[in-house]
């Protein structure tokens, strides 16, 4: 009997609906091959939700997400909503859903593919072999601390944001980082600013304590400015980079650019009982509706969903290998240099779906009797 996976689709704004459509296209390949079945429900978020309901995250969308095992999101935002009050900006939909679903850790992988190594801003000999994951604490820190706001006193305005971290918030994200490192190259780099910030001193103390429970994983500490420098100078030295909300927001975009295109990179936001998957890129309103957006990050996000929520490693590997093989053939969308006639969004989705079919069939095929048991002589 085929497994049934319940997925909430939140296409959002700009190119979001276009790239999510291609991710769904690839996921449906598995249904045709007697793999998992998907039950999709679509909801509004961000600017699209504001236009329809005057809220960036309507109650109906929350209900759809609560009924799903995982959420696949496109992108939010656009210039037409820039004049909205802060609490009614499209980005509030994303912040609210993270809080409501208890999503406290964000995974941002950045791997340089051999076929795209020349697109990196760094020299190929520096960046080749880069394969790291930023583990960003997602629900605490300066983005959520109180007091916050802009206040007037004695005729002068003052802006206030408060950085707060509680011990348990650091503990749970640290455990996630060390567990992930055990599946990779067994190294965690914890990034803070402990020479200046009390929150970072607590962060370093807690991470050091948690690290003792993982004696097989190497732990090092770096100040955030040093880490930013070393990501450019020696990116291949990193494996799992653990850091707080604001530092992770900045460093993950820096790491993304090592790969040559932010349009290639997925992300996963995980909690104890729910998870949200989305491409790293924004809504790109200037190319929305023109069938020229790169859908790879959304498709790769679907692969992360299969791996982390549905524990379907074979399906996840099939998608990721398919992406690599299609790019290796020289296929490019418009924003990736290297081809005079780039393919459209939908054509890139078609090619990855076709290759995913082949990869999944190969990975799912039982070993031949000769390979499994050896031949008699």
Q: Is 249 a catalytic residue?
A: yes
- 346 three-class SS: helix
Nearest to 300 by CA among 320, 317, 328, 280: 320
Whole-number CA gyration radius for the chain: 21
Q: Is 143 a catalytic residue?
A: yes
Q: Is 193 a catalytic residue?
A: yes
pLDDT at residue number 328: 93
Residue pointed to by tokens 């999944």: 360
Mean pLDDT, each 10-residue run in order, the chain (377 residues): 92 98 98 92 97 96 96 96 89 91 96 91 93 96 93 94 97 98 98 98 98 98 98 97 97 90 90 95 94 96 97 96 95 80 95 97 77 45
Q: Select which of 84, 143, 187, 358 is catalytic.
A: 143
pLDDT at residue number 136: 98
Q: Select which of 214, 249, 277, 360 is catalytic.
A: 249
pLDDT at residue number 2: 80
What is the pTM assigned to this prediction?
Answer: 0.91
Tokens of 67: 């009924």
Nearest to 127 by CA among 45, 53, 233: 233
> Dihedral of the CA atoms 262, 264, 269, 270 (nearest 10)?
-150
Q: Select which of 5, 165, 192, 193 is catalytic.
A: 193
- Structural domains of the chain, ranges and CATH numbers in brackets: 1-104+271-365 (3.40.718.10), 108-264 (3.40.718.10)
Nearest to 6 by CA among 42, 30, 32, 40: 40
Tokens of 25: 């296209």
* CA dist 143 → 95, 106, 160, 223 (Å): 9, 14, 11, 20
| Longest CA pairwise span in the chain (Å) | 95
Q: Select which of 131, 223, 253, 308 is catalytic.
A: 253
The two beta strands, 4-12 and 70-75, are parallel
- Find out whether 70 and 276 touch, Cβ atoms under 8 Å: yes
Measured distance CA(322)–CA(115) in Å, rounded: 13
Q: Is 225 a catalytic residue?
A: yes
Measured distance CA(278)–CA(305) in Å, rounded: 9
Q: Select which of 225, 233, 286, 328 is catalytic.
A: 225
């Amino acid at each position: 009997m085929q497994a049934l996976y319940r997925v909430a689709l939140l296409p959002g704004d700009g190119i979001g609906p276009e790239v999510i459509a291609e991710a769904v296209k690839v996921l449906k390949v598995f249904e045709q091959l007697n793999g998992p079945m998907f039950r999709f429900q679509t909801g509004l978020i961000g600017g699209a939700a504001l236009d329809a309901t005057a809220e960036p995250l309507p109650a109906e969308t929350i209900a759809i997400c609560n009924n799903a095992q995982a959420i696949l999101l496109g992108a939010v935002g656009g210039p037409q909503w820039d004049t909205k009050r802060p609490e009614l900006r499209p980005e509030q939909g994303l912040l609210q859903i993270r809080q409501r679903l208890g999503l406290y850790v964000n995974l941002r992988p950045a791997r340089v593919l051999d076929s795209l190594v020349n697109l990196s801003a760094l020299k190929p000999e520096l960046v080749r072999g880069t394969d790291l994951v930023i583990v960003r604490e997602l629900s605490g820190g300066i983005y959520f601390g109180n007091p916050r706001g802009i206040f007037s006193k004695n005729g002068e305005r003052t802006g206030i944001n408060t950085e707060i971290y509680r011990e348990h918030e650091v503990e749970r994200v640290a455990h996630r980082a060390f567990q992930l490192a055990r599946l990779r190259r067994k190294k965690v780099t914890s990034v803070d600013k402990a020479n200046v910030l009390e929150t970072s001193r607590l962060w370093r103390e807690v991470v050091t304590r948690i690290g003792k429970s993982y004696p097989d994983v190497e732990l090092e500490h770096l100040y955030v400015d040093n880490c930013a420098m070393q990501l450019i100078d020696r990116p291949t030295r990193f494996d799992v980079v653990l850091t707080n909300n604001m530092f992770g927001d900045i460093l993950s975009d820096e790491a993304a650019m090592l790969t040559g295109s932010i349009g290639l990179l997925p992300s996963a936001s995980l909690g104890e009982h729910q998870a949200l998957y989305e491409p790293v890129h924004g809504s790109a309103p200037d190319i929305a509706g023109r069938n020229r957006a790169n859908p790879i990050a959304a498709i790769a996000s679907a692969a992360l969903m299969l791996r982390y929520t549905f524990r379907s490693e074979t399906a996840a590997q099939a998608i990721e290998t398919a992406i690599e093989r299609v790019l290796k053939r020289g296929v490019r969308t418009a924003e990736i240099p290297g081809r005079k006639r780039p393919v459209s969004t939908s054509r890139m989705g078609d090619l990855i779906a076709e290759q995913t079919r082949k990869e999944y069939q190969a990975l799912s095929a039982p070993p031949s009797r000769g390979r499994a048991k050896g031949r008699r002589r």
